[in-house]
Copies of this chain bind each other. A is one copy, B any other.
């Protein structure tokens, strides 16, 4: 499948790398490809700059948000929550129309320090904002409840854990579930429509505090039932 991953940070790198490894044709989208390749400073989490990652993943393409989205069957939003609506706007609604838009971002506001707070209350969600802004895209919210390395390699936890999908379009959710299973996820719960993204986005307050308490982001929730 032709997949665009919008975002060049740790999450975008993890997704793009794994999707390429699984045989997909992957193009990473960014605002300005030349500027992205020219950056040499590490990312905000101390991760290597995109250029270093790209030097070992040269089969993954790099293009503008719009060009990446235009050629894709599936678009992954791996931008930060605060930038998401702007990034998708740059990708262009025509380039998203009719496509599956897998939204893995969280609406986090870092302006007052750590831990960040949510920029929505539980009467809205970033997933719904995206679906409203791009009504012709088939938005599926997933993978926003765990750290990048576990999104794509869940078996590294050594025990089964749960991920969730939310969205209005059943075929789009089925495509995402298949992708999640190809990553190694073996417990995917379909919560229902995109409104249910309120539930998974609101997991972030406890996720962030667990990261502080456990001293690692290498954990995930399992729904025991």
Contacts and interface: CB of A to CB of B under 8 A. Distances in A.
B224 A209 contact: no
Interface majority SS (helix, strand, loop, mixed), chain A = mixed
A209 B191 contact: yes
Interface residues on A, range: 35 or more
Contact of A196 (B117, B160, B198, B209): B209
> Which 6 pairs across A and B sit closest by C-beta, in order of nearness?
A199-B206, A219-B225, A199-B209, A202-B205, A222-B222, A161-B224
Contacts of A220: 223-225
A220 B222 CA distance: 8
Given A117-B123, A122-B117, A202-B205, A210 B222 contact: no
A1 B112 CA distance: 43
A222 B203 CA distance: 13
B221 A214 contact: no
A214 to B, nearest CB: 6
11 contacts: A118-B121, A118-B122, A160-B224, A191-B209, A199-B210, A200-B206, A202-B206, A214-B223, A219-B224, A220-B224, A221-B222
Given A202-B206, A209-B199, A210-B189, A159 B224 contact: yes
A161 B214 CA distance: 16
Greatest chain B CB density within 10 A among A160, A190, A212 is at A212
A164 to B, nearest CB: 8
A189 B209 CA distance: 11
Given A121-B121, A202-B202, A203-B202, A225 B218 contact: yes
